Structure formats: structure tokens, C-alpha cells
Structure 1
Amino acid sequence: MVKGVVGEETRLNSLESRLTKSALPSEVGLAIGKFSSALDRVFLFDLIPTPPNDSGEPASSIAHSDNKKTAAKSKTPVPDSLFIDQDWVAEHARHVSRMLVGGVKVVGVYVWLGDAAFKNSTITLCQTVKGVAEAAATVDWGERLLLHISYSPRRWNCRSCSLSPNITSGSLRPCDFKLGKVLSSIQTFKCMHNFDLRVPIFRDSAAKYQTFSDVLRHAISVHAKELTGAKALIDGKLVVDNEPCSSDGVHEIELLIPILSNSSVEACSQKDVVGILSFSGSLCSFAYLNSKEPISQAITDLKGDIITSLQSRLDIISDEADGDSGNNYDVERQVSDDIPAEKPVSQLVLQLLRKGYSLPFPRRVFALWLAGAYVCDYLQPSETVEVLKDHCMELLSMEAPTDVSTIFEPEKEVISFATKSFWDVAVPATETYLMGDKSKLDGRGESGAKSVKPGHINVVAAGLILILAILVGFLLFFLKG
């Protein structure tokens, strides 16, 4: 449960000034911040407006009441209500959540609206908050924030919205809100994480997961379990307590996974396995910590960011491949005749592949955002950092990075095995058996003849050594007598 919310005063005051000058009747957007389970508090970093939809229409508008007869009968003016394109706001949240790094999440929704219209639109706002939470799906607490910036009268109100199945106006609960210096006190943690997962591919009768997407999601979930028990080194020292980190600068984190914790190696019979999926590489992760939070929170955020990053890359590949099934990233496909040529990559059935198949994953690049904090994006091998610049402007309403030094590409140097995580399907076991049996049959007579000779030579040598030992023994016995 959220007990309090602290917003970055420079960012929120700047937003209020912009909205006041714009004289917009309404605006809706995303609240970006960090939920601290140790402090039961949310730290708001920024508020990002949802851009116009593909038709150029704003994500929110005021629905005015034109029914004069109803107003005359009630003798009171019918209050205005708020219309929100909830699907578009949720889609915005889905894309923005991919650009945020460890610990920084979409924590709710903000709305610029008059007080009367707000009171008449609480259910709509709660439904919007719930849709955003489901689209982002990155924070494991059962509530989100609804920040109301009222221009009539001028004030800020923060409420916590419970994500219950049945959304009502009673789902909103007042929340303590204040402005402060949030960004100046955050600390940065960086981790270059190496991973190497090998998951067996089973026959149809024994397979729980068959398609490329399902098998790889299973491999990622397996690695998530491995990371749960991983120890951490911070700046070369083992993290053993929950004391706050007082030193400044970027802290280097190394995760130590126990050697025998590879749960991806399942007990199985060789006859059930037709191949192997190899998923390996090296990725970069960042996490940010408030000065009052324990170091363990940064470690948890880094572990979560690693898994989220892998899942985001898989989602990007699946989304784009499903949207253009004939392209499939120009990857050479070697499949059986049972698989249609237009089948998307994410739906490839691994049991039907007859030769090795590899697919590069997008690489993660970073751009400076606020107070030295980074946001990220994922680029395909053919894409440049111009894609990152466009996404920063469109999705985060920030100025496009013009200085190359503000763009960080840590995974570029290890692109051959880090940003391109390869999975290979081995030759089916039945073919291996046939090849082995054939080689045995072809060389049975010749190898059989040769196999007798070494054994015969060993017996003769042993006999000669035994006779020589007996003779030496008799000789020593007579000389001693």
C-alpha cells in the first residue's frame, strides 16, 4: 500500500506551467516513477503526455452536455464529462514501459481537468488506470496512482487506485502528496550480465512448449528463477546487508549465479530429445535507487530489469514478425516442407526444423534522460540510433539527443554473442542413430579384426613380463643361497 508520493518539483512545476499557458480543456498522460516497497512510497520522476493518435486526435477531450431539455427539467446545469481513448493511452504505456530501466516504471496516470468534470469522470479514469497497469505489466503491487491537476480551482490531488476486478468510484483512495527533490538524490547501479541457457527440444509427444516464442519464454522464465538465488558484488564487494549505499558515482554490480543452479537442464531420455535451444549473450542493465532505500532493492531491480529486457526483445521480434510474416528479418530459414513459407518466426514449431536455425536479438541502447538517468530502446541490426531519437520525441516528449556522447551503446562491442542471442536446433536424434549404425555396419569386419590384435598383443606382453619376473626371482634366490 502506498503511504506517500513525492514528485520531482522541477519537472512537475514545469508541466503545470506548460498546461496553464496552453489553456487546454484536458490532457491525459503517464506518471513515471519508482515504487519503493521498503518505504511504501512512490517517487515521481516525470509526467509524460500521451501523444495524439494516428488520426491526429488528442487522447482526451471534454464531452459537453447539449441536452437543454434535461438541464431545464433539473434546473441545474449538467456537468461535463471526460472522454479518454483508453486503448491508445494503454498502447502508449506499453511502449514507454519498454524504454524504462530497472526500478523505473509506469506507476499511474495523470489528468489535467477541471474539478467538476473530474468528479463526473471517476469511473472512466479508474478504467484508464487499470488499462495502463495491464499494458505496462511491470509493477507487482496491486494499485496505481491517479494524479489530478485541477485548473478550476488550481490544485494538485493524488489518489491511489485499487486494481480490483470491479472498478468503481470507491476504488480511489486519497494519498499523501508533496513536491521535493527526487532526482538529485538517486544513485546509479550498472550491471553487464552474461548468460548461457540451453534448453532441450522434445518430440511432439513429450513437448510442453513447441513454438519458438513459447520455448524461448520458458527459457527466460527458467533464467528468472536462477537469478532469484544469485548473489551480488557491488564494486567488487559482496552485498551482505541492507544498509543504504552512501557513495556517489555509478556502482558496478556483478551477479553470481550458483554453478549447479542451471534448472534448464531437465532430466529426460535421449529418445525424447530432437534438438537443443541455445540462448546466450551479454546484456547491459541499469537500476536507480533513492538514497534512503537499501542496496538490496537495487539488486532486485537489476534482476527484474534483466528479465524484462529479454522479454521485451522477444516481444519486439514476435510483434514485427507477426506483422510482416514474409520478411522474418531476412534470416535464412531451413525448415521442412510441413511449415508454410509465410509462417511467422514466433510460430515456428521447433520439432519440425531439420537444420540449425539462428536469429539475432535486438541490441539495447541508452540515452540520457533526467539528472543523468537513462532511458533505453531496442534496435534491430539494420537500425540506427535515429530510431532511438524518434522514439524519445514521440513517446517521452523529450528533445531528440543531438550529442552523440549522450547515447550509450554498451552492447555494441559484443554484438556477435551479446546482442545477438543465438538459438540452434540440433540434428534430430533419429538421424544421428542412423548415421552411427551405418558407420558401424560399414566397418564391422575391418574394425573387428583390428580389435582382436590389441587384445592379443596385451596378453603376450603380460605373459613375457610374468616369465621374466619368475626367472629374476629364481636367480635372486640362488644367489642369496
Structure 2
Amino acid sequence: MVKAVVGEEAQLKSTEDRLSSSSIPAQVGLVIGKLSSSLDRGFVFSLIPTPPNDEGRPACSLVEPVKDDRRKGAKQSKSQGSSDSSSVVIDKDWVAEHARQVSKMLVGGIRVIGIYVWASESAFKNSTVELCQTIKGVAGAAPPLLGTDTEERLLIHISYSPRRWTCRNYVMASNITSSSLKPCDFKMGKVLSSLQKFRCTYNFNLRLPVNCEKTFDARKLGDVLRSGISVIAKELRSARAIVDGNLVTDDEPCTSEGFHDVELLLPFMNDTCLEASSLENVVGILLFSGSVCSFAFLSSKESILQAIADIKADIITSLQSRLDIILDEADADLSQSDNSCKESSPDIQTENLISQVDLQSLRKPSGLSFPRRVFAPWLAGTLICDYLQPSETLEVLKDHCAELMSMEVLIDSSNILEPEGEAPAVVAKGFWDVAAPLHSDSKSLSEKPGADAKSEGSSQKSNKQSSFNAVAAILVLLLSVLLGFLFLSARS
């Protein structure tokens, strides 16, 4: 249970000044930070306002009862919004979607831990159910991974009448009642400057069997790759960690400054097969391999084991986020194809989608690259990330930072990190690569472009040598049978 919350003073004061100077009667947004179950404390790094929806309407507004509208008129003002009968109305689905998009841009140890609301004291008290439902929607948009998340979320109320900050704790398992929100201590201080920084690069290489199906569509592709990601998650649970060259054995805090390099040690000869599959049921395989770069940020009072858990959770979250992007684009391409929109969108080539490959008739491997992960500086040395397709540029990252993270200052391209040399990729191979891999390999080598006369000569020489060995083996076998027959005849 989170009993105390500490917020980054510089960021929260900046948010308060921005809201005070504006004329908006209500606003809702996301609370970015970290909840520590071991310390029973919460850390708030920043407050991000939810942008207007696709129709240009704000995500939060104040409403008055109908009788007040008739008596006072339809025009609302800030003073009218502070009446005892006003309440907050929130576009809960839009706030949840904002939380889903922002959570993809956060790295290890930094999460969406709740919402904040800017409203009067009376409007806040009249909107308990609305606020609790919004918190539940935000929590559902970013489900926990690897047991690193808690069942609690924060609700920060910034009141302008009277002017004060309050923080409440909401337990997800509780019913929505007037007593669902529990008050907790809240204060401001320096949080970001004391964070410990960790980085890790995780390499993986999986062979995922594809069982016989009538169709191999995007949904089937997603199921196979999610199974592969679950295998990686199982590996990471039992992985040991080396931090700055030292094996982590004690649950102690880390106090040194700068980035700490983390290396994950997987169990030796770990079996990563999903399940036993006979060749009769397998029509192809997916080669899922690549490298994932991960960063994590830890409070100075937390143990180093928590940083390792945050790194592992960030790796899985990164892979799942990339898979979601691939499947969303595949669904969009297929829907446009079904609606005969190719004439208006000639650049879309649905026949190149790996989800539409016929593995039984496949003769050459078909590949698909996952979006690559890039990192941008955020607050006080922390980082946020985004995922770019091969055809996308860094301008997409800048647009997402401005739209989703409410970053007003444009990011200098020289400060953007691109540590992943090659993004994770999926390669589909057909039936004959599974049933006769040696034949497939030799065939692919012989058909490799650019082969010179020397390689052809060596191939012919090896074929002649193998033919001679086969003939010699047959002659030896016949000679052995003949000698055995003569020996038996002599004894009889």
C-alpha cells in the first residue's frame, strides 16, 4: 500500500503555473512516475495533459445541472464552474487511449501510475465515480508484466478553489464507492536528480514452428510471435544479472553515478522449444531473432534487484509494442485491400505481407523487420522511446513527443539515440526447410547470386568424391557377402 508520494517539485510547479495562467475550468491528464511496493512510496516525475480528441473536444469538461442552466443561462464561466452543483465529465476512452500510447514511449522503471485532474473542490467531490472509472480505464490500457506492477493507482487533485494539492490512492480490486479513494501523504522535492540509470542489450534467436492451418493470416502470425515472446519472458525470469562486471547476489541499493551496464545470463542449454511438433503438422517455421536495447531508472532507495526486474519487464514490453504495431498496420492494409482502396493508395503492397505468405508453397525465405527502437532525452537525464518503421524518419519521433508527451521544445536530432543496429526480425521458411534442411541449405547455396567458377568447381569435385565413396562402399559390401558365402560353403 502506497502511504506517501513525493513529486518532482520543478515539474509540478511548472504544471501549476501553466494551469493557473489558463482560463480552462477543468483538465485531466496522466501521472508519470513509479510506485514502489517495497518502500510503500510513490514517485511522481511529471504530469502530462491529455490532448483534445479527434473532433477537437477537450478530454475533460465541467457540467452544471439542467435547472442551473435554465436559471443562469447556457454560458458557463470559471466562477460558475466552481458552484457546489458542478461535476467533471471525462472522455474515459480517449484518456485510456492516451495512456496506452504514452506507456509505449516509457522505458523501464517509468510508468503511467494514475491521473490528475484540475478542478474545484466541489466539482472533484461530485465526480468520484467518474474519476474512479477513468483510473480503471487507464490501468487497463497498460497491463502489468512480470509481476513488477502493483494494483494501486494515484489520483492527484489540483484545486484552484481553494488552491492546494491532494493525492489519493485507489486500489484496483475495490468497488467504486465514495470510500474507494484513500488519502495519502503528498509532498514535493527533488526526485529526478537522484535516479540511478541502467542499460542493457538483450539478444535472442528463436525457431517457432507453424502448424498446419487452412490460412496463415495476421492473427495466426500474431499468435505464433506472442508464443515466442512468452518463451523469452520465461527465459528472463530465471536469468541472472551482471552489473558493471559484478554478479548481482545481494538485495542492496546502488549508489554510484552514471549509467550501469547490465548483462543478463541465461541458463545454459535452456530448452526454448514451444512444444513437440511432428513434421506431419508443421508447414513452416518462423525465425524470430534480433537485439533489444533497454534502459531503466531506479530510485536511490530501491534495491538493484528492482532495476533488474524493470529491465526484464521493459524488454518484454518493447517486443509486444512492436508486435502490436506490425499487426495494426497489417489489419489496416487488409481492410484497405478489402474495400478496394488500392487505387487511392498505390504504395500499399499487401502481397508483400508476411502474414499472407503460403508456407507450403514457399521456396525462398520471406522476411519482416520489426520497428526499431529509438530514444530521446526527456527530464533530467531520463529517456523516452518510440518505434519507427524502416520507411519512417526521426520526424515521427518528434511529432509523437509533441503530441503525446506535451514536449514543447523540439528535440535536436543529434541527441536522439539509435543503439539498435538491426531491429528484431521475423523470417518465414517453408515446409522443405523443415523437412529437409540440408537439401534446402545446399540448394540455397548453389543458387546464391555471385557464385564464381571456383565455387562451382569445388561443388562438382565434392559431388564426384561423394559418388566415388558410395561406389566403394557398395563394392566392399558385396565382397563381404561373397567371402562370407565362400566361408560357409567351405565349412559345410
Task: Please give the range of the TM-score, normalised by the shorter of the 2 chains.
Answer: 0.7 to 0.9
Aligned to 2:295: 286
Structure 1 range deviating more: 260-269 or 10-19: 260-269
Secondary structure of the 2:179 match is: helix
Structure 1 distance, partners of 2:352, 2:153, is: 36
What's 2:458 paired with?
none
- The answer as to 2:474 corresponding to 1:452 is yes
Q: How does 1:9-28 map to 2 (within 5 A)?
A: 9-28=9-28
Alignment-mate amino acid for residue 2 of structure 1: V
1:421 aligns with 2:425: yes
With structure 2 as the length reference, what TM-score do the two structures score?
0.80
Report the equivalent of 1:47: 47
Verify the 8 A CA contact 2:292 2:424 in the aligned structure 1. Answer: no
CA offset digits 1:8-36 (Å, max 9, x no partner): 01100110011111132001000000112
Task: Name the residue aligned to 2:444.
Answer: none
Shift of 1:324: 2.3
Match of 2:316 among 307, 310, 323: 307
- Counterpart in the other structure of 1:32: 32
Match of 2:346 in 1: none
Equivalent of 2:370, from 358, 361, 371? Answer: 361
Q: 1:80-128: per-residue Cα shift (whole Å, max 9, x none)?
A: 1111111111111010000000010000000000000001111001101
Among 86, 90, 100, the alignment partner of 2:96 is 90
Report whether the alignment pairs 1:393 with 2:402.
Answer: yes
> Contact 2:196/2:259 (CA < 8 Å) preserved in 1?
yes
For 1:452, give the aligned amino acid.
I
CA 1:204–1:64: 2 relative to 1, 3 Å: same
User: What is the distance in 1 between the residues matched to 2:394 and 2:195?
Assistant: 27
Q: Which residue of 2 is the match for residue 99 of structure 1? A: 105
* 1:268 aligns to 2:277 (yes or no): yes
Q: CA deviation at 1:455?
A: 3.3
Q: Among 283, 301, 306, which residue is 1:297 paired with?
A: 306
SS at 1:67's partner residue?
helix
- C-alpha displacement at 1:276, in angstroms? 1.7
Question: Secondary structure at the residue paired with 2:426?
Answer: coil
Separation in 2, partners of 1:15, 1:420:
38
Q: What letter matches 1:38 in structure 2? A: S
1:439 aligned partner: none
Q: Is the 8 Å Cα contact of residues 390 and 400 (structure 1) preserved in structure 2?
A: no
Which residue in the other structure is 2:253 paired with? Answer: 244
Percentage of identical aligned residues: 54
Q: Does the 8 Å contact 2:252/2:303 carry over to 1? A: yes
Preserved contact between residue 60 and residue 88 of structure 2 (Cα < 8 Å): yes
Q: Structure 2 stretches of 5 or more lacking a match?
A: 73-82, 338-348, 441-466, 484-492
Cα shift at 1:347: 6.0
Shift of 1:230: 0.4
Secondary structure of 1:48's match?
strand
Query: Is contact 1:5–1:44 with CA below 8 Å preserved after alignment?
Result: yes
Partner residue in 1 for 2:59 = 59
Return the offset for 1:410. Answer: 0.6
The one-letter code matched in structure 1 to 2:475 is: K
- CA separation of 1:363/1:430 partners in 2, compared to 1, >3 Å: closer, same or farther? closer
Task: Kindly provide the CA deviation profile for residues 377-429 of structure 1, in whole angstroms up to 9, marking residues without a partner as x.
Answer: 00000111100001100000113444223211111xx22xxx04123233258
Secondary structure of the corresponding residue to residue 366 of structure 2: coil
State how far apart, in whole Å, the 2-side matches of 1:132 and 1:2 are: 18
After superposition, give the CA deviation of every residue in 1:36-76 in whole Å (9 maximum; x if it has no partner): 2221211110000001111211111111224159989xxxx
Task: State the shift of 1:447 in Å.
Answer: 9.7
Secondary structure of the structure 2 residue equivalent to 1:240: coil
Q: 2:167 corresponds to which residue? A: 158
SS in 1 for 2:31: strand
**RMSD of Structure 2 on Structure 1 (CA):** 3.2
Alpha carbons 2:155, 2:169 under 8 Å: kept: yes
Aligned-partner SS, 2:429 = coil
Give the equivalent residue in structure 2 for 1:384: 393
User: C-alpha distance in 1, partners of 2:84/2:352?
Assistant: 52
SS in structure 2 of the partner of residue 320 of structure 1: helix
Distance 2:64 2:252 in 1: 55
Assess, with a 3 A threshold, how the Cα gap between structure 1 residues 344 and 179 changes in structure 2: closer, same or farther.
farther
- Which blocks of at least 5 consecutive residues in structure 1 are unaligned? 329-340, 437-444, 462-481
Change (3 A) 1:408 1:92: same
1:188 and 2:197 are equivalent in the alignment: yes
1:198 is aligned to 2:207: yes
What CA deviation, in whole Å up to 9, does each residue of 1:330-374 have, x standing for no partner? xxxxxxxxxxx9699596587666343221100000000001000
Distance in 1, matches of 2:481 and 2:103, equals 74
With the length of structure 1 as denominator, give the TM-score of the two structures. Answer: 0.82
Q: Which amino acid aligns with 2:425?
A: S
Match of 1:256 in 2: 265
Higher CA-based Rg: 1
Q: For each residue in 1:117-160, what CA deviation from the matched residue of structure 2 results, as whole angstroms up to 9, or x when unmatched? A: 00111100110111111112246311211100011111111111
SS at match of 1:391: helix
* Distance of aligned partners of 1:382 and 1:143 in 2 relative to their CA distance in 1, 3 Å threshold: same
Matched position secondary structure for 2:199: strand
What is the aligned partner in structure 1 of residue 183 from structure 2? 174
Contact 2:4 2:185 in 1 (8 A): yes
